[in-house]
Amino acid sequence: MKYFPHTQEDIEQMLQVAGLKSMDDLYGEIPAQLLFNREFDLPEAMSEVEIRKFIEALGKKNSRLACFAGAGVEDHYSPSIINPIISRGEFLTAYTPYQPEISQGTLQYIFEYQSMICELTGMDVTNASMYDGCTATAEAMMMAVAAAKKRNKVLMSATVNPKVKKVVETYAQYNGAVIEIIAEKDGVTDLADLEAKLAGDDVAGVILAQPNFYGIIEDYAGVAEMCHAKKALMIMNANPSALAVLKTPAEWGADIACGDGQTLGIPMNYGGPYVGYLACTNALVRKLPGRIVGATTDVDGKRAFVLTLQAREQHIRREKANSNICSNQSLMALYVTIYMSLMGYKGLKEVNKLSYAGAHYLAEQLVATGKCSMAFDKPFLNEFALKTTVCPKTIQAALLDNGILGGVRIADDTLLICVTEQRTKEEMDLFIETVKNL
């Protein structure tokens, strides 16, 4: 077995040093009824040749489709150099930077990641990353409850992605927080309902989305003032790629920004790995979970980076910690750091411009078929909800026959459609033709 270096001679010598007669002696103290005595019901060992063929065959059972689905996961361009860099063994096979003297690579890229996330969101501080956007939002919810001390109610807009909602609600259910949904009106958060729900002076935080689940860019003017007047924190789940062009959580007055970094070039990977981000104002840094990297110097005065503010974390605070997260989603944080370095502000704007143009073209042309109409008359970036006169299932089935993943069905008569810079005019026109011909 190529992963086991032990020769028979090694085993015998090592057992001797350990003062044991046989390999069975290594488990001599274990009660006999606990020892596993039969063969495992697993396949026999495969060579690399066989594994490649086996996985290739499994891969053929999946379809390759032109992706017009979004709903939180978008098919953006991934630059070629990212995989080779993150595959370097020094990054890939390291663990968390407990020994900073030999982990400056990891520590520095996390510092760079933190810097860039703070630039995109406008927030003061962020941690070293979270698992995904859903759990990052759940952690934001717990931060708000912890910061409020005696309040446990958190409001969440109906326009937040349902996947995020479900995870937040699950965490809340066990954590003892109460989630109340703010109604939506014409595809956006009903601010009158928000104001009414804040009136009880018992709300710890308010979770909003930007762009929202329907792809709409919501106008949150005055919302921060509304929340802060009632001592509630404003939490914004925002798509970080879109923040290159949209008003930032900080500019809206948010206290916490969170979301999924998948849109920063991470392949869709059937749901993961992605990377969550969680950022906040300086006032909340002590409530921020997870690892944070800070700059410092070594004994020779050289600039260096180190895990800092660790007194917040679970390995110190144990049951008093606000979160149980141990490490982060480090390699994916490196992924998006390289992506943001390559794209820069200009590249991110360009990605948004191309996606915007494609989405608006597709929306107009689909409406022009007469078989669809816009579900909402609101500004959107690269995703839109479309009412269909034909059943969306029929539309999606016809698109599938043409190799197109035709959005996500979000109601009996509504499709949510997303366009990125990777979609060609040919693909969009095929989409339109297919709908036209129904």
Partner 1 sequence: MIRNYDKLIFELSKEGRVGYSLPKKQVEGGCMCCGIPENLRRESAPLLPEVTEFDVVRHYTNLSNKNFGVDTGFYPLGSCTMKYNPRINEEMAAHPAFTQLHPSMPTECAQGALEVYYNLAASLAEVSGLAEFTLNPYAGAHGELTGLMIMRQYHIQRGDLKRTKVIVPDSAHGTNPASAAVCGLQIVEVKSTANGTVDVEDLKPLLDDTIAGIMMTNPNTLGIFETEIPEISRLVHECGGLLYYDGANLNAVLGKCRPGDMGFDIMHINLHKTFSTPHGGGGPGDGPVGVRAGLEHLLPNPQVKKDENGRFYLQCDEKSAGYVSNFLGNFGIIMRAYTYILTLGRENVKMVGPLAVLNANYVKESLKGEYYLPIEGVCKHEFVFDGLADKSTGVTTLDIAKRLLDYGYHAPTIYFPLLFHQSIMIEPTETESKETLDEFIAVMKKVAQEAIENPEIVKSAPHSTPVRRLDETTAARFPKTTYKQLKG
Q: Which of 384, 387, 424 is nearest to 404 (CA)?
A: 424
Between residues 122 and 387, which has the closer beta carbon with respect to partner 1? 122
What minimum distance in Å lies between the beta carbon of 38 and partner 1?
A: 10
C-beta separation of 221 from 253 below 8 A: no
User: Taking CB under 8 A as the rule, does residue 184 contact partner 1?
Assistant: no
User: Taking CB under 8 A as the rule, does residue 413 contact partner 1?
Assistant: no
Applying CB under 8 A, the span of 179-187, 200-208, 265-273, 368-376 interacting with partner 1 comes to: 265-273
User: Taking CB under 8 A as the rule, does residue 325 contact partner 1?
Assistant: yes
Dihedral angle at the C-alpha atoms of 295, 299, 301, 302, nearest 10 degrees? -60
**Taking the alpha carbons of 411, 413, 418, 424 in that order, is the dihedral positive or negative?**
positive
What minimum distance in Å lies between the beta carbon of 149 and partner 1?
A: 16
Side chain identity at 425, as an amino acid letter?
A: K
Applying CB under 8 A, the span of 151-159, 179-187, 197-205, 417-425 interacting with partner 1 comes to: 417-425
Between residues 5 and 437, which has the closer beta carbon with respect to partner 1? 5
Distances (CA, A) of 410 to 367, 415, 417: 18, 6, 10
Angle, alpha carbons 216-222-226 (nearest 5°): 115
Residues within window 34-53 making contact with partner 1, judged by CB under 8 A:
34-36, 39-46, 48, 51-52
Question: What's the rounded Cα separation, in Å, for the pair 217 and 302?
Answer: 45
User: Taking CB under 8 A as the rule, does residue 412 contact partner 1?
Assistant: no
Between residues 159 and 248, which has the closer beta carbon with respect to partner 1? 248
User: Taking CB under 8 A as the rule, does residue 199 contact partner 1?
Assistant: no
User: Taking CB under 8 A as the rule, does residue 13 contact partner 1?
Assistant: yes
User: Taking CB under 8 A as the rule, does residue 394 contact partner 1?
Assistant: no
Number of residues that bind partner 1 (CB under 8 A): 203
| Binding residue (CB under 8 A) for partner 1 from 8, 21, 26, 209 | 26
| Binding residue (CB under 8 A) for partner 1 from 310, 373, 389, 394 | 310
Radius of gyration of the chain (CA): 25
Residues within window 154-173 making contact with partner 1, judged by CB under 8 A:
163, 166-167, 169-171, 173
Residues within window 350-379 making contact with partner 1, judged by CB under 8 A:
350-354, 356-361, 379
Distances (CA, A) of 202 to 120, 175, 256, 263: 31, 17, 19, 35
Tokens matching residue 200: 């009880």
**Taking the alpha carbons of 58, 133, 374, 426 in that order, is the dihedral positive or negative?**
negative
Q: Which residues of 192-230 are buried (b: 16+ CB within 10 A; e: fewer)?
A: ebbbebbeeebbbbbbbbbbbbbbbbbebeebbebbeeb
Between residues 330 and 434, which has the closer beta carbon with respect to partner 1? 330
User: Taking CB under 8 A as the rule, does residue 221 contact partner 1?
Assistant: yes
| Binding residue (CB under 8 A) for partner 1 from 8, 21, 53, 55 | 55
Site map (CB under 8 A) of partner 1, residues 61-100, x = contact: xxxxx-x-x-xxx-x-x-x-x-x-x-xxxxxxxxxxxxxx
**What is residue 19's three-state secondary structure?**
coil
Angle, alpha carbons 73-435-367 (nearest 5°): 80
Q: Which residues of 347-361 are buried (b: 16+ CB within 10 A; e: fewer)?
A: bbeebbebbbebbeb
Give residue for tokens 């479900």: 166
User: Taking CB under 8 A as the rule, does residue 122 contact partner 1?
Assistant: yes
| Binding residue (CB under 8 A) for partner 1 from 58, 149, 150, 377 | 58
User: Taking CB under 8 A as the rule, does residue 106 contact partner 1?
Assistant: yes
Give residue for tokens 């969680």: 278
Applying CB under 8 A, the span of 147-155, 188-196, 231-239, 314-322 interacting with partner 1 comes to: 314-322
Between residues 55 and 196, which has the closer beta carbon with respect to partner 1? 55
Between residues 28 and 412, which has the closer beta carbon with respect to partner 1? 28
| Binding residue (CB under 8 A) for partner 1 from 8, 149, 150, 319 | 319
